[in-house]
Every structure is written in C-alpha cells, then in structure tokens.
Amino acid sequence: MTDPHQQVGDAIKNIADLPLWIIVVLAMASGLSGEMLRASSITDMTWKQIVCRILMRFGAAGLTGLATFMVAMSYDMHPYTAAAICIFTAVLGGDVTSSLIERFAKNKIDKMTEKNE
C-alpha cells in the first residue's frame, strides 16, 4: 500500500519544479476564464461590451493583486501568505472596479435620458 503523505509530497515537489512562467500563464488563464464566465452571465450584451468588461475586470484584478503581492513581499512575508492576500485583493479589486464602472455607466445613461426628455 502506498503512503498518502508521500504522494502529496511528490505532487508538491512536481509543482515546485514547474517554471514560474507556466504558473503565471495558468493563473492568468484561469482568471481570464472566470471573468469571461461572469461577463457572459449578463444578458443583452454585445461582444464589444463583453470584451470591455473582461479587460476591465481582469486588468483591475491583476493590478490590485500584483500590487498587493509586491507590497507583502517587501515586508518579508512568506510567499504563500503574500499569495493568499494577493488572491483575496485581486478578487475584491475586480468586483469593486466592476461595480464602480457599472454605477458610473448607469449615471451617464440616466443623464442622457434626462436630456432627451
């Protein structure tokens, strides 16, 4: 019978041996697919609006997450702790930015409809 702890240890060693660029590409691909799923769940959007929403959310999440990770690493945090904080702020940054831009767009549309009436 195999030792389950050894299997976990082997998996961790294999992940640790991966080049950093592969890990970054996989993280970006998973984040991008998540943003595409969120953007496509809203109905009555054109492709241009979906692409803009994806780029806005993905960019905001990436910028806030990366900035938080760099700040955490500058305070000599453990890389795993810094990565956990980075993930949390990336998700939060994307959601906050999305809601702010949606609110801005709603106000702009309301002002345009008031002028037309």
The 10s digit of each residue's pLDDT in 33-55 is: 776 776 667 667 777 877 777 77
The C-alpha atoms of residue 38 and residue 42 are separated, in whole angstroms, by: 7
Cβ neighbourhood burial of 117 (10 Å; 0-12, 13-18, 19+) = exposed
Helix (H, G, I), strand (E, B) or coil at 106: helix
pLDDT at 104: 83
The C-alpha atoms of residue 89 and residue 84 are separated, in whole angstroms, by: 9
| Percent of all residues in the chain with a pLDDT value above 70, rounded to a whole number | 82
Query: Do 62 and 87 form a contact (C-beta atoms < 8 A)?
Result: no
Two tokens, residue 30: 């998973």
The C-alpha atoms of residue 63 and residue 53 are separated, in whole angstroms, by: 15
